[in-house]
Amino acid sequence: MTASATRVPLSAAVLGGLGAVPFIGLAGVTPFLAGPPRLLIDHALVAYGATILSFLGGVHWGLAIGAPVRVGQDRLPARLIVSVIPSLAAWAALLFAEATGLLILAASIAAMLWVDLRATRSGDAPPWYPKLRIPLTSMVVASLLLGAIVQISASRDRPPNGRERSSSVIT
């Protein structure tokens, strides 16, 4: 295999990197916000994560139907099923509270990396794909986990009535 076969195309690297920016930005500001602005950012992180997880499933749908002869008719149904599972997991993540949804997304995106690595080993995905996915997945999963940690931490600071506790002695 030549070095050029394993080099990530510039367009894929740039677009992949730009796709990670919302994860990093949203998770990065979450610890510094409270109240309605943070709730909006929390929801935006879950929604964007669900969108990207669905996209990762779509990659496998495309790989499966784009080369059914290479995939083989016996493997086609399994590949199509694997390609749909991320969208279902993304939908489930949207139905849960933000911290749980973020954890579902982090686990699902990490699992899709494993699926992608297997697809590359079997020749179904291009040889450069892991070089793109591993660093992006690391950034995305770390961002989702940070968001979940902030959510869990914030929920412990809230009294049972749901209002955030004031750090001031006088309320």
- Between residues 13 and 70, the one the model is more confident about: 13
pLDDT in tens, 143-158: 999 999 999 998 776 6
pLDDT digits (tens, 9 = 90+) for 72-83: 677 788 889 999
Q: What is the pLDDT of residue 158?
A: 64
Domain extent for 119: 41-156
Q: How confident is the model at residue 163 (pLDDT cuts 50, 70, 90)?
A: low
Higher pLDDT, 86 or 4: 86
Task: Give the total number of structural domains in the chain.
Answer: 1
Q: Is the pLDDT of residue 109 over 90?
A: yes
CA dihedral 39, 43, 46, 50 (to 10 degrees): 180
In a domain, 119, yes or no: yes
CA proximity to 23, closest of 128, 118, 130, 138: 138
Please give the Cα distance from 165 to 153 (Å, whole number): 12
Determine the average pLDDT of the residues in 56-76.
81
Percent residues over pLDDT 90 in the chain: 71
Residue 140 lies in a domain: yes
Asked if residue 146 is part of any domain, the answer here is: yes
Per-residue pLDDT at 171 = 41
Is residue 162 assigned to a domain?
no
Instruction: Give the pLDDT score at 71.
Output: 58
Tell whether the model's pLDDT for residue 69 goes beyond 60. Answer: yes
Is 167 domain-assigned? no
- Band (168; pLDDT cuts 50, 70, 90): very low
pTM over 0.95: no
Question: Residue 161: inside a domain, yes or no?
Answer: no
Between 97 and 118, where is the model more confident? 118
In this structure, is residue 18 part of a structural domain? no
**H or E segment and range at residue 167:** none
Write down the pLDDT at residue 170.
41
When comparing pLDDT for 69 and 50, which is higher? 50
* pLDDT for the residue numbered 169: 38
Does 3 fall in a domain?
no
Encode burial over 107-143: b for 16+ CB neighbours within 10 A, e otherwise: ebbeebbebbeebbeeebbbbbbbbbbeebbebbbeb
